[in-house]
Chain A
Amino acid sequence: MAEQEPRVGVFVCHCGINIGGVVNIPQVVKYVKTLPNVAYAEDNIYTCSAEGIDKIKAAIKEHSLNRVVVASCTPRTHEPLFRGACVDAGVNPYLFELANIREHCSWVHMREPEKATEKAKDIVRMAVARASFLKPQEESEVPVDPTALIIGGGISGITSSLCLANQGFKVYLVEKEPELGGMLRKIYRLYPTDEDASKVLEASIRAVRNHKNINILTSTNIKSVDGYIGNFEITALKDNGESKFKVGTVIVATGAVEFKPVGMYGYDKYDRVLTQVDLEKVLQSGKSDVDKFFKPQRVAMIQCVGAREEKPPRAYCSRICCMVAVKNAMLLKEWYPESEVYIIYQDMQTYGKDYEEHHRKARVADIKFINYTKENPPQVVPLPDNRLRVTVYHALLGEKRELDCDLVVLSTPLVQHESARELSKMLKVPLGQDEFFLEAHVKLRPVDFATDGIYVCGTAHGPKDIGESLSQAYAVSSRAASPMANRKVRTEAITAVVDRDRCVGCRMCERLCPFGAHRIEEGKSTVIDALCKGCGVCAAACLRRAITMRHFTDDQIMAEVKTAFLTKAPTQPEAPTNVGGKIGE
C-alpha cells in the first residue's frame, strides 16, 4: 500500500477523576501536541462513553487522521471498543494504539501527581512513536473441508462419528481391526448399570453402519497425514491397498490396551492368575461354562498391579480398575453366593456418586476389602492342589492374612498402544510422560491439541470410564464442528512473516513453535497462518532475523524502547532501527 505520512490523533481521557484526579490532563494534551506526527489531540471526560466514541470518529474525518492513540485504560478490556470506532471511520483497526495511563499510572502513583504527569507524557509519547510505525493488518481466512477423520472405531470413535454425521458432516471412521467396537468387545457387563456390553455395542455399530454420512474403513491403518486444519491430506492403508482422501479435521480416538503384568504375581506362570480383562472373557462365556471350569470358593483381586509405580510411564492411577474389580467381584458373589471374594486395594478410587454407592453395595454384599501399602505388596505362591496362596499384610488391621484362593485376578492399568508413538509423529502432536496423548491445556483445553484441527478423546487421552469417554467423544464433536460448520477458520492478524531471502532453513523456528506453524519447504521456513498464534518466540529466536511479527515488529518495539525516557521532546520522528546484523556480528 502507498505509504502516507502518519497523521496521529491523540485522545486523552480523564476517566472521571480516575486519571484526571492525579494526572494533569491539559498539560499532557499540551505536550502531546508538540510530538512529531501528531496531527490532533484533545481530552475527554470518558473517551469510552458513546459521546467520546463519536468525537473520535468525527476527529478522524475532520483531521483526516490515519493513526489513533487513546490515552486511558488497559487495552485488555477497551482496545476492541476503540478499534471499532476506527473501523467505523474507515481506519484499519490495527492502526489504533492504547496508552495505558490509568492502571499503569494514575492508579499506582496517586500520591505523586507531578511525577505521574511526567510518566503519562512518556507513556503517550511511546504510544505515538509506536503508532507511527503501525501497519494495517488483515485477518485472512482458510477454507475448511467439512469432513472429519476419526481414527479408532471404539465406542468413542463411533459416538463422535454419529454426533458429527447427524450434524451433516462427512466422516471417515478408520479402525485397524476387522471389527468395530474396540475395548468394549472384550467386556461382559458394564458398571454401574449392569448392562450387557455387547448388546449396547451392537446397537451403536448398527447406527454407524446405516448412516449415509459415515464412511467406515476397517482393517485400515493411517499411513500419512499432510496439510493443516481444514486441509488435511490423508493416506490410508488397507491390506497394501492405499486410499487417499481430504478432511478438514482429525479426531484421535485410538483408545488404550490393558497392561499385561508379565512376571508379576505369577501371571504368566499359573493359569489361575488372570487379569480383569481375562476374567471378563471367562465371564462372557456364561455361568454354565464357568461352572465346568470351576466353582470358586475363594477369589482374591489385587489392585494397582503395574500402576501407581514410582517412575513413569506407569506412575498414574488407571482410574477405572477399582470399579471394574467391584463390578466383577459382585458378579462372582452373585453367581457363587457361598464364595469369599476379596479385593486387595491401596485406595478405593470409587469417586463421585454412583461409584461410591456401588462401593458401599459391595461391602454390604460381604465383599471383603483388604488394604495394602505400596511398601508391602501381597505375595502369590502356588499350592499343591493348584490353588494359590495369597499372603497379604492388612495394613489397617496390622496383621498378616493368608488366603488360599482358587482364583487370583490382577487389576492392571490401561496403557497406550505401541502404535501411538508413530501416530503422534505423523500428526505432529505430543505424547505425555504417561505415553497417552497430551492435550493443549490440561485444564481448559482437555480435548484439543495445540495444533488446530486435531483433537483427542476417550482412553487415547488417558484412562477413563465409558461415560467420561463419551463425554469427550461428544466434546471433540463440538470442537471439530466449529471450523467445519463455518467452512473456514479466521487466522490471527498477528502472525509471523518469513523473509525467504534471509532464511537459511536452520529449523530453529520449526523446533521452537509449539503450534507447528513453521514448516520447512524447499529449505526455507514458511508460516502456516492458520496455525500461527503470534507469540513471536520464533522472531526473537531467528539468528538471521528473517522473521518479523506482524503488529509487533522490531521497528514498533524499538520505537517504544527509544522513546521510553527522553529528557526533551524529539523534533524528528524516530528513524527505523537497522536490524540488519545480529549482535556481535
Chain B
Amino acid sequence: MNEKPSVLIIGGGIAGIQASLDLAGRGFQVYVLEETPTIGGRMAQLDKTFPTMDCSICILAPKMMECYRHPNIKLLTYSELKEVKGSVGNFQVKILKKPRYIDETKCTGCGVCAEHCPIEVPNEFDMNLGMRKAIYMPMPQAVPRLMTVDKENCIDCKLCTKICRAGAVDFTQQPQEVELNVGAIIIATGFDQYDPSEIVEYGYQKHRNVLTALEFERWVCASGPVGGHLLRPADGGIPKKIAFIQCVGSRSRKFGTPFCSSVCCMYATKEALIIREHAPDVKVYIFYTELRAFGKGFQEFVNRARDEYGVKYIRSRPGEIREEPTKSLSIWYDDTLTREIKSLSDVDLVVLCPALVPRPSNKKLAEIMGLELDDCGFFKVVHPLFAPVDTSVHGVYVCGYCQSPKDIPDSVAQASAAAARAAEALAMVKMQSLGGN
C-alpha cells in the first residue's frame, strides 16, 4: 500500500471521535462508521459531565465539527457494517449506506421541511421524552447538518419536497453499498441502557415520576424536551424531593448484569448537583450500595456534593417504590448504616440508575469480524492488563465502554491507545513489506 494508511472506526461517539482525530491528525485516512444520522453518541445526550460540571455539548461539539471538517476524515453516518475480509494492512470492508432520502450535496440543514412535516414521533435522541418530525435532525448540533427522512413514519405526503427551496429531498434514493480498503479497524460502539421495567418493585413505566438516568439527562438538559426546566414528569409540577437509586440491574445475578457500570455513583452525584443548581431548595437523596468514587477528583467531588450542596447519601438499595394517589412516590428502604427501616415519602421524582450494557449489535459485529465477546457482551481483549485494546484479530482494536465499563476520560484515553496500536501495527506491516524487497 503506497497511498496513505487508512483506518475504519466503528462508532461515532466520543471514543470514535477521539481515535479518528488522533489518526487523521497524523495523516491517516479515517472512515467513521455511525449507524445513526449524527455522530456524537451518548456524550451528546448528556447535560453536563462530572467531576468538572462541563457542559457536555460545549466541549463535544467543536470536536464533532473538527471531525466533519478534517480533510482526512470521511463520515459514513446512517450506515452499517456488512462484511469484513482480509487481514491487518489490508481489510476489505463492505458498508451499507441507508438512504436518507436527502441529497447530501443540496441539503443545508435549515430545517424548514421539519417545520412543515405533519408527522410527529418520539425523539430517540431525547430518550423518547420529546418529539421530532418524520423528517428530522436528531439534535440542533447534529454533524453532519443534514435532514433525514424516517421512512417508517413518513406518510409520503411529499410536503417536504415542495417546501425545500434547495430541492434536497429525494425519495428515489436507494440503499447503497460502499466498499473500503483499510489497514486497521477500531471498534467503539459504546453502550445501551438496561431497561429496568422487569424490576417491578421500582415501577418504571408504571409510575410516571420514575425516570432512568439517561432520560433525566435529557429531561434537565437546556436543549432537552422541556427546555431544562426541572419538572415532575407526571404533571409538570415543581419538585421538592428527588431521589436517585443506584445499581438498578447492575451487580445483579438475577435481573440485568453481574458487573458494576462504574459511572453511576458519579453521574448520580453530578445530576444531584445539577438539581441543586437548578433549584437550591430541592432535597436530593442518593441511595447507593457502595459509593464508587475511584477516579481522579471523584471523591473530592462527592465530598463537595455532600458537604457544600447538602446531597444526602443513604447506603441502601430500596425494596420498593410505591405511588401515592398524588403521583408522588414513597421509597421503602433499610438505612444499612443505622439499621433503620424507613420510608421516604412525597418524593416527586425518582431517577433509576440502570446498568449500562454493551450494545446487542456487538454480537453481529463480532460475527462479521470473527471476534470474541465475553459472557456479558463486551468485546474480549487479548490481555486485560498488557493488551488493553487488542482483540484476538490482529489489526482490529477496541476502545471505550464496549470493551468494559468506563467513564469519558478513560474512554478517550483508550481511544487514543487504540489509535496508537493501529498506527503501530500499520507501521510494522509497512516495515515488513519494505524489508521484503
Contact = CB atoms under 8 A, between A and B. Distances in A.
Contacts of B165: 14, 16-17, 45-46
B437 interface: no
B423 interface: yes
B417 A478 contact: yes
Contacts of A348: 290
A471 B389 contact: yes
A499 interface: no
A233 B124 CA distance: 53
Interface string A285-324: 0000000000000000000000010101001110100000
A468 B18 CA distance: 17
Interface in A459-499: 461-462, 465-468, 470-479, 481-482, 485-486
Contact of A443 (B49, B110, B145, B262): B49
A475 B410 CA distance: 10
Interface string A236-257: 0000000000000000000000
Interface stretch (A352-360, A504-512, A525-533): A352-360
A486 B337 CA distance: 58
B424 A16 contact: no
A565 B27 CA distance: 47
A348 B289 CA distance: 10
Give the interface residue-count category, chain B. 35 or more
Interface stretch (B82-90, B175-183, B297-305, B365-373): B297-305
A14 B298 CA distance: 50
A347 interface: yes
Interface stretch (B206-214, B237-245, B378-386): B378-386
Contact of B404 (A49, A352, A475): A352
B353 to A, nearest CB: 14
Contacts of B374: 353
B420 A477 contact: yes
Interface string B376-419: 10100001111011000000000000001110111011111111
A351 B299 contact: no
Given A168-B431, A316-B300, A352 B420 contact: no
Given A163-B424, A436-B296, A482-B22, A193 B405 contact: no
Contacts of B258: 353, 356-357, 360
Contacts of B410: 446, 468, 471
B95 interface: no
B292 A349 contact: yes
A478 B416 contact: yes
A323 to B, nearest CB: 10
B384 A192 contact: yes
Nearest to A165: B424
B294 A351 contact: yes
A467 B384 contact: yes
A466 B303 contact: no
B296 A470 contact: no
A398 B339 contact: yes
A533 B419 CA distance: 25
Interface string A423-451: 00000000011101000011111110000
Contact of A76 (B51, B65, B389, B414): B65
Given A478-B419, A479-B22, A482-B25, A352 B296 contact: no
Contacts of B298: 316-317
B236 interface: no
B69 A80 contact: yes
Contacts of B415: 475
Given A16-B112, A470-B385, A475 B27 contact: no
B405 A352 contact: yes
A200 interface: yes
A471 B417 contact: yes
B367 to A, nearest CB: 22
B421 interface: yes
Nearest to B291: A347
Nearest to B21: A482
B295 interface: yes
B292 A485 contact: no
Contacts of A470: 385-386, 388, 417
A2 B290 CA distance: 70
A401 to B, nearest CB: 16
Contacts of B376: 353
A471 B385 contact: no
Contacts of B51: 442
A353 B22 CA distance: 28
Contacts of B336: 395-396
A50 interface: yes
A466 B251 CA distance: 23
A144 to B, nearest CB: 11
A183 B386 CA distance: 15
B27 A486 contact: yes
Interface string B262-296: 10000000000000000000000000001111111
Given A474-B417, A475-B414, A485-B26, A316 B65 contact: no
A322 to B, nearest CB: 8
A391 interface: no
Contacts of A461: 296
19 contacts: A168-B431, A308-B299, A349-B294, A353-B258, A353-B405, A354-B384, A433-B300, A434-B296, A446-B413, A462-B295, A462-B296, A467-B384, A467-B385, A468-B413, A470-B386, A471-B389, A475-B413, A479-B416, A482-B22
Interface of A: 14-18, 45-46, 48-50, 76-77, 80, 163, 166-168, 190, 192-193, 200, 204, 308, 310, 312, 315-317, 319, 347-357, 360, 373, 395-396, 398, 432-434, 436, 441-447, 461-462, 465-468, 470-479, 481-482, 485-486
